Amino acid sequence: MTDAETILKEVDTLTKERGRRPDWLKAIFALLQRERPHYNWVGFYYLSGGELLLGPFVGAPSPHKRIPLDKGICGAAVRERHSVNVPDVNADPRYLACSVETKSEIVVPIEHDGEVVAEIDVDSHTPAAFGPDDQALLEAVARHLSPILGQATTRY
């Protein structure tokens, strides 16, 4: 079993425990951070009323609790409806600074029934930290979360 397959199996277990474990989503992000040490901040934004609202995360506190869809790399991922991998945040004018330590970022939208409902945001203190395997893993996690988050009546 590959590293990604092992992680996805654990993600599946955590999602099945969500009725008994209120922190299941944060536990998924902690798993990702633990298994991929270059993931220094892993979090979740959900779409509400035309903006992104911060949900569970692991890592340093973020000053960005709300992000308009026309701002930042997070907004770009929703607008463009695909993953955005930024190898050097300092060279990207869309970047909304969270930490002076952040060097690269990847944002993966979570779609349900053709609409973006949320996204996974990962920051790294390493330049160009995210390769195709990271993107594939995060997109697989997003696909796994899609039916759960798309049906959610409460926000995380």
For the chain, domains (ranges, CATH) are 3-150 (3.30.450.40)
DSSP, residue by residue, 61-104:
PPS-SEEETTSHHHHHHHHHTS-EEES-GGG-TT-----TT--E
Distance CA 125, CA 140 (A): 23
Write the CB contacts of 84 (distance below 8 Å, at least 6 apart in sequence). Answer: 73, 76, 77, 105, 106, 107
DSSP designation for 60:
S
Q: Which tens digit of pLDDT belongs to each residue from 15-30?
A: 999 888 889 999 999 9
pLDDT, mean over the chain: 92
Q: Which tens digit of pLDDT belongs to each residue from 114-144?
A: 999 999 999 999 999 999 999 999 999 999 9
Beta bridge partners, 144, equal none
Q: What's this model's pTM, rounded to 2 decimal places? A: 0.94
